[in-house]
Amino acid sequence: MIRRISAVILAAILLALGMLLCLAGCGQSNAMIMVGLALTDGEQETGTVLQSALEEAEHSVELACAKSAQEQTEQLTSLMQDGASVLVIHSVDSVAVENLFSESKSDASNLSVIACGAPINAECVKAYVGPDLYDAARQQAQQVVKELNLDEPERACTVELVAGNGAERAVAGAMEVLQPYVDKGTVII
């Protein structure tokens, strides 16, 4: 399935990029900054729009689209080696990206990252553009409580939590609602 980034998300990415580029450009005599766009496969069109807008603002841009976490990790490493100061990452696997930034061989100290679609837990991430996974999972858990009538249960229910990129935030949001029921023995995770 190919996911398209909406015009609203694209505008938010451009706004976040603009703010980061202004901050990164402060104190530099040459305002041109190298931006790496690391997107998932199928986002070539979005990447091209971003690349054109940034190049019009006289920034150097490299675009990379990956089909797998391994390919994206290699592309990110290459973008950092090429001198990217700012990375926009729509991750194939956010945990793989987090692992890359936590490795001692990946120096991300002078890097600013905008995470798109899924949060990336790394110190270099300066902005996140995407859904509030915590709140979405909390709302879904509230619906589970209602549908399973957990306030007046006839029996204990088993609930399975399933999440992809950003799973930690989603599980935390769901557990905010479900934890009292787990504590009472009404819900088994």
Condensed to tens digits (0 to 9), the pLDDT of residues 15-71 reads 666 666 555 554 454 456 788 999 998 888 888 888 888 888 788 899 999 999 999
Bridge partners for 187 per DSSP: 157
Q: Which DSSP string corresponds to 56-117? A: HTT-EEEEEEESSHHHHHHHHHHHHHTT-SEEEEE-S-HHHHHHHHHSTTS--TT-EEEEES
Q: What is the pTM of this model?
A: 0.72
Mean pLDDT of the chain: 82
Amino acid at 26: C
Rg (the chain; Cα; Å): 20
Distance of CA 104 to the CA centre of its chain: 22
Rounded Cα distance between 130 and 90, Å, is 10
Bridge partners for 39 per DSSP: 65
